[in-house]
Structure 1
Amino acid sequence: MSTSTSARTGAAQGRFDHRMAVFGSDDGFVATALPFLAEGLAAAGEPPPVAIAAPGLLAALRDGLGADAKEVGFIDHADWYTGTAANAVAQGAGYLAAHTGPGGRVHLLMEPDWAGRAGRSARESVEWIRYECLANLLFAPFATTALCAYDTRTAGPAVVDAARRAHPGTGVYEQPPVLVRELDAVPLSPPPRAVTRLAAAESVRAWSAEQGLAAADAELFARAVVAAAAAHGPVVDFVAWGEAPSCVCELRLCRAVADPLAGFVPPRGGEPGPGQGLWFTRQVCAYVDVRDGVAGDGARIRVQYA
C-alpha cells in the first residue's frame, strides 16, 4: 500500500516544492510515481521529469509508464547518491544548473539509497536526514518540484519518522534550524586519551602521512583542514588522532559557527568564496561535525577523512 504524505499539486513559481511519499512494495512505488510524473509531463515550459531510484523500481516504473517512458529520464540512485550527503547537495545543485527550465523548474522523483551508504549506520542516517532538512533552505530559490520516495523495505520506521520532520506538508515538519540544532545536540564521542597536538592546519599533511594515508590523501586531508580553519578561525588548538583511513583532526575555535548551512551552500563559479572553505571540507571528507559549545565545551569542527 502506498501513502503519500503530501497531496499538493504543482510547484509555486520560484519556490522549492519538497514532498514526501512512503511505500512498501514495487506496486506502491509505481502508484506513487505515476501521478507525480504525469504532473511533470503536463507542466508547460518544463524539461522532462526524472526518476531517481533503485534499478528494480525503475524497471517497474518503465512498465507502468508504457509509451510515456520515453518522455521520462531514469537514473540509478546509486549513481546519484554517491559519497556523502554534502556530495549529494553538489550533485543536485549541478543538475539544476545544467538541466532545468527557467527558475529551476523540473519534477524530480528521488528515492534515497537507504540500502547503501545512507543506511549503513545510525550516524550516516543522521547525515542524510540533515541533507533532507537543509534542502528546504538550499533549494528554496528554485521552482523545483521534488518527491522523496521512502521504501519501508530499506528505510526503517525511525528513518521514515525523522524524514517526515524534514518535509513540509507532513504534519510534523520542523523548520530546518530547529531540526539541525536537535541533530547537533547529540554529543560527539570523546577523543581518545592519546592524541597529537599540531602546530597548524598544514601540519595535518605530515601527521596523517605518518598514520598511513597515501601522499595524495594526506595532501587532500590537509587542504580540507586548512580550508575549514581559514573559514572559521582563529583556531585555538588542532588535535589529531586515528589511523588511515580514519584520520581525525579537531579544530577548537574561538567563536561559534552560527550558520546551520555552513559548508553546504554551493559556491558560485565552482570555487569557495570567503567564509565558504567548509564547503570544500565537506566535499572531500567523510564526516564533518560542527559543535558550537555546550556544557562548558568550546566550539569545534571535527573532520574525519574516511
Structure 2
Amino acid sequence: MAMTGTWLGDAFAHEAFVFHEDEAMIDRCVPFVVEGLERDEPVIVVATETVRDALGSALGRDLARLAVLGEAETWWRGDAATTLQAYDRDLRRLLAADRPWRLIGEPVWLAAEGGRVWSRYEAVANDCYATFPYYSLCLHDRRRLAPDIIDDVLRTHPLTWNGSAPVASSAYEQTGAYLSSVEPGWYARPDIAATMFATSARQIRAAVREAAPDGWEARHDDMMIALHELVANAVRAAGAAEVSTWSDGRDLVWEVADTGPGLHDISAGYSPPGDHLESGRGLWLARSLSDDASVRAWGPGTAIRLFFRRR
C-alpha cells in the first residue's frame, strides 16, 4: 500500500488528515515517513510533541535521518503572511535540490488568534506550488480545532485519507470559490466614502493623515506603505488611481481602483513573489500590512480593498 497513492514525485500533492485519536495519527504518519526514507526522499516533520514522540518511538535511530524535525508551535510568526514567506523560502531551497520531498505539517496555529486566515494560504498553495515535487501531509486534530475550522481544512485540501489510501476530497473547493466565500463581502462603495484621484504615490501620505480619524495613529505607517504600493502599481498601469476610504464597523477601509489592463485574480498577492520577480511585491506587501483585503474586477481595471483595525 503506497502511503502517497499515485503520487509520482513530480507535482504538489496536498492532503488533509483529520483525526481525533493518537493511534490513527500514528498509523498514518509512521508508514508515510518510512516510505519516504526507503525512497531516499527528504522527509520534513513540523508537528506537536505528541507526533514527534510517536515517530521517535517507532523509528528509533532512523529518526536522525529526517531532514527536519521541528516544533509546530515555533513556526508561526504571528501572522499568516510572514509565516508563509518563511515557509516559501524553505520550499524554494528544497526545490533547488531537484528531487522530490515530503512533509508532515501540523498547523496548530489555526486555533490561535489571527491564525484562522491560514486556511486561505493553504488554498492558494494548491495553485502557486502546483509544480513543486512534494507531498504535504497536513495533520489536523479535532481535539484542538473547532468544527468550523475543520470544515475550512477540508475545503482547502484536494486530498483526504480513506483509511487505506489518499483520495479526492468531496468537500474541496477551487481557490477562487473558497476565497470569495471567506474574504470580506464585496459591496457598492458607500456614499459616505471620501474619494481622491492620485497621479503619484507621494500624495498618499497626506491623504492618510487627513482621512484617518483620531485613534488610528498606530496604523498610519501600515496604511501609508500599503497604499503607496497600490497607488504606485495603479499609476504604472493606468496613469492614475481612484483612492477612496470609509469606516465599516470596526474597520477603516481603503479602496484603490484603476482602469489598467486588469488584475482579476482573486488570489493575487497571497503568495510571496520569488526573488527573481520584479513585480508582484506591492500587493503582497499591502496584504501583509492590512488586516484583510479583497481584489475584484472594476470596469476595465482592478479594485483592491484593504481593511485595517485599530491596534
TM-score under structure 2 length normalisation: 0.75
Larger-gyration structure (1/2):
2
Distance 2:62 2:209 in 1: 56
Q: Which residue number in structure 1 is paired with residue 133 of structure 2?
A: 143
Q: Is the 8 A contact 1:93 1:266 kept in 2?
A: yes
Mapping of 1:185-200 within 5 angstroms? 187=185, 200=203
Letter of the structure 2 residue corresponding to residue 203 of structure 1: A
Distance 2:99 2:226 in 1: 30
Q: 1:278: Cα distance to partner?
A: 0.5
Moved more, 71-80 or 246-255: 246-255
Q: When you count strand as a share of all residues, which structure comes out higher?
A: 2
Q: 1:275: Cα distance to partner?
A: 4.6
Distance 1:146 1:115 in 2: 20
- Flag the 1:83–1:285 CA change in 2: closer, same or farther, 3 A: farther
Q: 1:139: Cα distance to partner?
A: 0.5
Q: 1:21: Cα distance to partner?
A: 0.6
Give deviations 1:76-122, integer Å, cap 9, x for gaps: 22222323333233122101122456446221111112232355xxx
1:107 to 102, 117, 131: 102
Q: Which residue number in structure 1 is paired with residue 306 of structure 2?
A: 302
Letter of the structure 2 residue corresponding to residue 61 of structure 1: L
Q: Structure 1, unaligned stretches of length 5 or more?
A: 1-5, 120-124
- Flag the 1:177–1:150 CA change in 2: closer, same or farther, 3 A: same
Distance 1:292 1:154 in 2: 38
- Flag the 1:106–1:209 CA change in 2: closer, same or farther, 3 A: farther
Q: 1:263: Cα distance to partner?
A: 0.6
Give the percent of matched residue pairs that are identical in Structure 1 and Structure 2.
23
Q: Which residue number in structure 2 is paired with residue 70 of structure 1?
A: 64
- Does residue 265 (structure 1) correspond to residue 271 (structure 2)? The answer is yes
- Flag the 1:37–1:105 CA change in 2: closer, same or farther, 3 A: same
1:33 to 22, 29, 36: 29
Mapping of 1:1-306 within 5 angstroms? 8-9=4-5, 11-44=7-40, 46-47=41-42, 49-72=43-66, 73-100=68-95, 102-103=97-98, 105-112=100-107, 113-117=109-113, 125=116, 127-168=117-158, 169-184=168-183, 187=185, 200-203=203-206, 206=209, 211=215, 213-214=217-218, 218-232=220-234, 234-239=240-245, 248-254=252-258, 257-269=263-275, 273-292=278-297, 299-304=303-308
Q: Secondary structure of the residue that 1:273 maps to in structure 2?
A: coil
Q: Secondary structure of the residue that 1:165 maps to in structure 2?
A: helix
- Flag the 1:205–1:68 CA change in 2: closer, same or farther, 3 A: farther
TM-score under structure 1 length normalisation: 0.76
Moved more, 58-67 or 155-164: 58-67
How many residues in Structure 1 have an aligned counterpart in Structure 2? 284
Q: Structure 2, unaligned stretches of length 5 or more?
A: 159-167
Distance 1:160 1:144 in 2: 23
Q: 1:190: Cα distance to partner?
A: 9.8
